[in-house]
């Protein structure tokens, strides 16, 4: 891959495994961001800025939460209680609900539970959006609140633009969102191929852009993917992450549209080599 840069926007699985305790633990920073946005955290955390809280949550996730989940049913009662209290603090859920879920809270349950006392649900791809369900009870929302807003806004607009502005008229249905299941990841070696391409090309840089409120491809999964992309650490200086106070499509928030575009400009500028620099690794002295 003879490119200077690759940008992954709201990436999903690229063949780097995140199963079991890793999958469960990685949700917590996203939970914290969502709870903070909806003012569902304690005043101690709520009075702090989001970007001040997230590093603390990420550290707890890697150093305490993940090891606790790895112990499964053999974790001591004392440690389980301690971890549950901290997870509850960062997620906005009750200690009782964390314990009832054996410390492992599914994202769909969180979307239903976090604002249950307000009788509202939060969106999947962007948890800033709110929904209402037929019943307050249940373990997952009736629908994805963000999609109803996006499809309502974008579908008429794109169809009008295609037909009236571009004069493109067809009987073929234009799908804004469709069924993508079942996912087939049986031969997904994207991550390994990308690592190999970076190893072969000293100029190839990778940047990931993610929204903190994206619950479908959460930002901490993206960070984890970035960390695992090159286990040797030799290409760490060519891997970067940018987060935004938005969801899956961070450019829907104007401030993040500006920030994301500027990050892309800077990334492109930084990856341009000098004309006299050879395409090879320098020898170590």
* Cα 174 to Cα 38: distance, rounded to the nearest angstrom: 34
Assess if residue 65 is contained within a domain.
Answer: yes
Using the 3D structure, point to which of 111, 142, 173 is the last residue of a domain: 142
Q: Please tell me the pTM assigned to this model.
A: 0.94
- The answer to whether residues 208 and 222 touch, using CB atoms and an 8 Å cutoff, is yes
Considering the domain architecture, whether residues 216 and 113 belong to the same structural domain is answered as: no
**Residue 127 and residue 194 in one domain:** no
Q: What is the DSSP string of 99-144?
A: HHTTT---HHHHHHHTTGGGT-EE-SS-TTSEE--S-S-SSS-SS-
Whether 256 maps to a domain, the answer reads: yes
Inter-residue contact 201 to 235 (CB < 8 Å): no
Phi, psi dihedrals of residue 244, rounded to the nearest 5° = -140, 155
pLDDT at 178 over 80: no
Query: What pLDDT is stored for residue 189 in this prediction?
Result: 93
Give 255: exposed, middle or buried? Use CB within 10 Å, 0-12, 13-18, 19+.
Answer: exposed
Last residue of a domain, one of 113, 142, 171: 142
Cβ atoms of 192 and 229 within 8 Å: the answer is no
Q: Is residue 199, in this structure, part of any structural domain at all? A: yes
**Residue 53 belongs to a domain:** yes
Residue 101 and residue 203 in one domain:
no
Q: Which two tokens stand for residue 111?
A: 């979307």
Please indicate, yes or no, whether residues 22 and 127 belong to a single structural domain of this protein.
Answer: yes
Residue 196 and residue 126 share a domain: no
Q: Where are the beta strands (DSSP E) in the chain?
A: 5-9, 121-122, 130-131, 205-211, 239-244
How far lies 230's CA from each of 33, 206, 207, 247, in Å?
27, 11, 13, 26
Q: How far is the C-alpha of 209 from the C-alpha of 7, rounded, in Å?
A: 7
Q: Does residue 158 fall inside a structural domain? A: no
Using an 8 Å Cβ cutoff, are 199 and 206 in contact? no
| 39 and 135 co-located in one domain | yes
Which of 280, 246, 274, 275 lies closest to 260, judged by CA? Answer: 246
Q: What is the pLDDT of residues 25-77, one digit of tens each?
A: 999 999 999 999 999 999 999 999 999 999 999 999 999 999 999 999 999 99
203 and 263, same domain (yes or no): yes
Within-domain flag for 177? no
Report the first-to-last Cα separation within the chain, whole angstroms. Answer: 28
- Token pair for residue 99? 């314990």
Model pLDDT for residues 215-247, shown as the tens digit of each residue: 999 999 999 999 999 999 999 999 999 999 999
Q: Are 148 and 117 in contact (CB under 8 A)?
A: no
Q: Which of these three, 79, 107, 142, is where a domain ends?
A: 142
Q: How many domains does the chain have?
A: 2
Whether 239 is in a domain gets the answer yes
Same domain, 136 and 44: yes
69 and 131 together in one domain: yes
Segments forming the whole domain that contains residue 238: 190-270
Output DSSP code: residue 276: T
| Over residues 269-280, mean pLDDT | 87
What mean pLDDT comes out for the span 100-129? 98
pLDDT of residue 173: 72
Q: Which two tokens stand for residue 260?
A: 């994301």
Confidence of residue 282 (pLDDT cuts 50, 70, 90): confident
């Amino acid at each position: 891959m003879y490119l200077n840069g690759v940008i992954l926007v709201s990436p999903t699985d690229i063949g780097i495994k995140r199963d079991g305790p890793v999958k469960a633990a990685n949700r917590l920073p996203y939970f914290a961001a969502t709870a903070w946005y909806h003012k569902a955290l304690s005043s101690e955390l709520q009075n702090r800025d989001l970007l001040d809280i997230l590093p603390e949550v990420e550290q707890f996730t890697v150093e305490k939460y993940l090891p606790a989940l790895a112990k499964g049913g053999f974790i001591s009662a004392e440690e389980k209680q301690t971890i549950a209290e901290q997870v509850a603090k960062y997620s906005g859920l009750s200690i009782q609900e964390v314990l009832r879920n054996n410390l492992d809270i599914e994202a769909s349950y969180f979307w239903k539970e976090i604002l249950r006392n307000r009788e509202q649900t939060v969106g999947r791809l962007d948890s800033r959006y709110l929904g209402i369900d037929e019943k307050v009870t249940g373990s997952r929302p009736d629908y994805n609140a963000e999609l109803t807003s996006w499809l309502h806004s974008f579908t008429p607009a794109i169809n009008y633009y295609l037909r009236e502005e571009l004069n493109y008229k067809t009987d073929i249905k234009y799908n804004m969102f469709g069924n993508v299941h079942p996912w087939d990841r049986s031969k997904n070696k994207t991550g390994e191929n990308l690592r190999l391409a970076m190893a072969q090309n000293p100029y190839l840089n990778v940047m990931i852009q993610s929204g903190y409120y994206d619950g479908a491809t959460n930002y901490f999964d993206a960070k984890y993917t970035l960390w695992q992309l090159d286990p040797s650490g030799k290409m760490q200086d060519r891997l970067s992450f940018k987060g935004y106070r938005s969801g899956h499509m961070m450019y829907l928030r104007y401030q993040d549209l500006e920030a994301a575009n500027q990050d892309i400009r800077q990334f492109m500028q930084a990856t341009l080599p000098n004309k006299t620099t050879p395409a090879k690794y320098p020898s170590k002295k």
